[in-house]
Structures are given as structure tokens and as C-alpha cells.
Chain A
Amino acid sequence: MKDPYEVLGVARTAAPEEIRKAYHRLAKKLHPDLNPGDAKSEARFKEASGAYALLSDAEKRRQFDSGEIDASGTEKPHERYYRDFAAEADAGHPYENRSGYADFAETNDFLAELLRRQAHEARHARGRDLYFHVFIEFLDAVNGATKRLTLPDGGSLEVAILPGVLEGQTVRLRGKGAPSRGEGEAGDALVEISINPHRFFTRQGDDIHLDLPVTLREAVLGGQVKVPTPTGSVMLTVPKGSNNGAVLRLKGKGVVRPGGRGDEFVRLKVMLPSESNPELEAFLSHWAPGPEYDPRRELQT
């Protein structure tokens, strides 16, 4: 690492103002973005910035002058400058400006022909892709839907949501992006989908899961109960003696997938009456289930 005073070209006694001026002078000359074709300018600019970072900080300068620290360690990590992006960017990027040679394109030689072709290409460059993010309802994601997006400029965009769309999936709408700045095709609109959670359905892959509250009577004696599914309610037969937490499957009532639908899994949740029920209490206090009924047998040590 070079001596920072030498890098900035100032005396060791230079006042802070002199150091600042010296750095500004160098930075104007060396900034990589003001020297797009000069690979060496980056290294020299970094050197100057490093030296300035050290000498513009009074405490660091004092430590350096007294030999407590050396000039290394002030170098900035590698940074990508604007010029790197401008050099790599495809035609049609928002900052492109190739208007500086139109006057050459009038003559008849090979170079003029090339410039004309290039101007033609620039004119026909595709518009930019635009990115959108939309939140849709759970059931719209399962069953499919058409959503209308309102854009910041007041326009709107119709998005067809295919049944079974996943969280984070992106829908590409051809030609709905930014228009070409010339006569080319418009870019695409890329719409990322987020799915709002549902009040009682959850989704795992192509399957729907649901906790279904049932009465004690339904659990013990069995019976028909109405169960919501993404496509409407169906009647489900709860078998006699169904336990709390038992899972019943409704085949084909899940999310649309190629060749059919996933399933809906219904987990029974036995609910006691919310208020105390003297009849039930009286019955249970006289009820003896027998020695076989010990639900905590497994927990015995």
C-alpha cells in the first residue's frame, strides 16, 4: 500500500481542507464511471478513496502519523460500478442513449449502413418487463380465477389464475409489460402470486386440510355431517366411535392437478358443549366404562 499523502499528492502537514480538495481533484479525474474504458482508473480511484478515508478522519490520521496503524486495511472491497452494468446491459435498458451519431448515418458506405441497422434495431428493441405482485384469495388459488390488477398509472391488467397455482409462482403475461421505446414489441408483465390464508382450510401440496368440529354424540354414535370443501359443502359420514383427531379422507376434493384433484383431509375435533350440561354430568358420574378403558396406559412407566 502506498503512502496516502503521496497518493493524494499533499504534504504531511496539509490542512484537512487541502486534503479534501486534493481528493476531489483526483476523484473527478479517476472515478471509474467517468472513465468507462479505463480499467486502471478503478484501481487508482480506490487508492485515492482509501487514502482520503484515512486522512480525512482526524483520529485515524493521527494514528497513522504516529505509526500506530499502517495504510493497509483502508482499501474498499470490490464494488461494481455503473459502467460495468452499462457495458453488459441488453439493448433497450432504461438508460440507453445512442443518439450521438445519427448524423453519420446519411452517407452510403459500410459504416453508415451498420449505423442505420443499429438504429433500426434500437428502434425495434423490446420493451422492458414489468414486475407485479398480487395477493389472491385461497379459494381463487385452488379453483382458479381472473383477477384485475390496477396499475399505478391508472391502467389495469387482467391476470388469469390457473387452478392450483402455488404461493410465489409467477404468471407471465406476454406483451403486457412496458411498451417499446420505438416500434418493437412490448415487454412482458411478470406477476408474482401470493395467496392469502383461509379461515379454515390449509393446503399441503394438492391436498386440503380441515379441522372439523363434531359433537360428542356425533363422535360416539356416528352420523352424517356437512363439511365445506373448496367446491362447496358435501355430506360426510362420521363412523360410529370416531375418536378426537381421527382423519377422514374426501377423495378428489382437494386442489386441481393434472389428471384430477388432490384430496381433502378432515380431522375430527370433538367439542363438548360450551356451557356445563347437568344431564351429561349426571350421566357420566354414573357411567362406568370398564377396566379396559385406560387412555393413558401407554404413558405408564
Chain B
Amino acid sequence: MIIDMPDFLQQAQLDRETLEVWIEEEWLIPARTTRELAFSEMDLARAKLIRDLTKDLGVNHEGVGLILNLVDQVHGLRKTLADVLCSMHARAAPDDADSSRDENRAAP
């Protein structure tokens, strides 16, 4: 789903100037179109996170960039870990199949 600028500002409860700063800082990276910016639901969720950080959690401007960078790295690591686990299962599975076949052959 693509969200246009007015909808985005309303749903994220933001004013335009603040949004421009966030984009300038690359805290948000919306898609561009010829006429305006196009936001995704992911951008919206990220904007709500930034809002929570600054409004509810008292994080200052410098802190937000730092936290977003670390959050992004955590997600990167979690994805890597998921891939590693997935790969390990894939490796383990054929071995299991082989050994069970061997057992079947040995049984009679």
C-alpha cells in the first residue's frame, strides 16, 4: 500500500517540517515519485517508532539516529541468524534421512 504525504502526516501525527528533517537525516527513506513522496506502511511504522522515541521516551535528536542504526543492525543480525538456523536445518535434514534409510536396510 502506498501512502501519500498528507495521509502520512496525519497517520503519523507529524508536521511537514519535522518530516523533512527526518528524511534529511535519512531516518526515513520514502520512495520518490514525479510529484511527491510515496510512503510505505513500513515507513509509517518507523515514523511511529521515532515519534515514540522522541515524545514518550525522551530521546534527543542525536540519540534517535544512534538507536535507529542499532535497531537496523539488530534486525540485520536477527535475519542473518534466521538464515543460519534455516541453513543448519537444511544441512541436518538429509543426514537424518540417510541414517534412517540405513537403519531400515539393517533391520531385516
Neighbouring A residues of B56 by C-beta, 8 Å: 23-24, 27
Instruction: Output the least CB separation between B58 and chain A (Å).
Output: 6
Neighbouring A residues of B2 by C-beta, 8 Å: 131
Q: Which of A61-69, A94-102, A195-203, A234-242 lies at the binding interface?
A: A94-102
State whether the Cβ of B5 lies closer than 8 Å to any Cβ in chain A.
no
Given the interface contacts A36-B78, A85-B42, A87-B78, does A94 sit within 8 Å of B33 by beta carbon?
Answer: no
B42 and A31 contacting across the interface, CB-CB below 8 Å: no
B80 and A101 contacting across the interface, CB-CB below 8 Å: yes
A81 and B72 contacting across the interface, CB-CB below 8 Å: no
For residue B36, which residue of chain A has the nearest CB? Answer: A133
- Those of B74-90 within 8 Å (CB) of chain A: 74-80, 83-84, 87
Neighbouring B residues of A28 by C-beta, 8 Å: 57
Q: Which of B14-22, B43-51, B100-108 lies at the binding interface?
A: B43-51
State whether the Cβ of B41 lies closer than 8 Å to any Cβ in chain A.
yes
Partner of A94, one of B29, B57, B75: B29
Interface of A is mostly: mixed
A89 and B42 contacting across the interface, CB-CB below 8 Å: yes
> How long is the Cα–Cα vector from A128 to B2 in the complex, in angstroms?
14
State whether the Cβ of A84 lies closer than 8 Å to any Cβ in chain B.
yes
> How long is the Cα–Cα vector from A110 to B69 in the complex, in angstroms?
28
State whether the Cβ of A14 lies closer than 8 Å to any Cβ in chain B.
no
Neighbouring B residues of A36 by C-beta, 8 Å: 71, 74-75, 78
Neighbouring B residues of A101 by C-beta, 8 Å: 77, 80
For residue A192, which residue of chain B has the nearest CB? Answer: B33
Neighbouring A residues of B45 by C-beta, 8 Å: 80-82, 84-85
- Those of A13-42 within 8 Å (CB) of chain B: 23-24, 27-28, 31, 33-34, 36-37
> How long is the Cα–Cα vector from A148 to B78 in the complex, in angstroms?
43
State whether the Cβ of A111 lies closer than 8 Å to any Cβ in chain B.
yes
B69 and A97 contacting across the interface, CB-CB below 8 Å: yes
B71 and A33 contacting across the interface, CB-CB below 8 Å: yes
Given the interface contacts A27-B52, A28-B57, A93-B42, does A99 sit within 8 Å of B76 by beta carbon?
Answer: yes
> How long is the Cα–Cα vector from A96 to B31 in the complex, in angstroms?
15
> How long is the Cα–Cα vector from A89 to B49 in the complex, in angstroms?
17
Partner of B32, one of A23, A24, A89, A152: A152
Count of A interface residues, CB-CB < 8 Å:
45
> How long is the Cα–Cα vector from A86 to B71 in the complex, in angstroms?
10
A132 and B42 contacting across the interface, CB-CB below 8 Å: no
For residue A114, which residue of chain B has the nearest CB? Answer: B87
For residue B67, which residue of chain A has the nearest CB? Answer: A34
State whether the Cβ of B38 lies closer than 8 Å to any Cβ in chain A.
yes
Neighbouring B residues of A115 by C-beta, 8 Å: 80, 84
Neighbouring A residues of B41 by C-beta, 8 Å: 80, 85
Binary contact readout A233-255 vs B (1 if CB under 8 angstroms, 0 otherwise): 00000000000000000000000
A34 and B71 contacting across the interface, CB-CB below 8 Å: yes
State whether the Cβ of B34 lies closer than 8 Å to any Cβ in chain A.
yes
> How long is the Cα–Cα vector from A288 to B20 in the complex, in angstroms?
76
B34 and A132 contacting across the interface, CB-CB below 8 Å: yes
Q: Which residues of B are interface residues toward A (Cβ below 8 A)?
A: 2, 29, 31-35, 38, 41-42, 45-46, 48-49, 52, 56-58, 67-69, 71-80, 83-84, 87, 91
Q: A93-B42, A95-B72 are in contact. List 5 more A-B contacts (CB 8 A).
A: A82-B48, A85-B42, A86-B72, A96-B76, A100-B80
Interface CB pairs A-B, < 8 A, 15? A24-B56, A24-B57, A36-B71, A36-B75, A82-B48, A83-B75, A84-B45, A85-B46, A86-B42, A96-B76, A99-B73, A131-B33, A132-B33, A152-B32, A153-B32
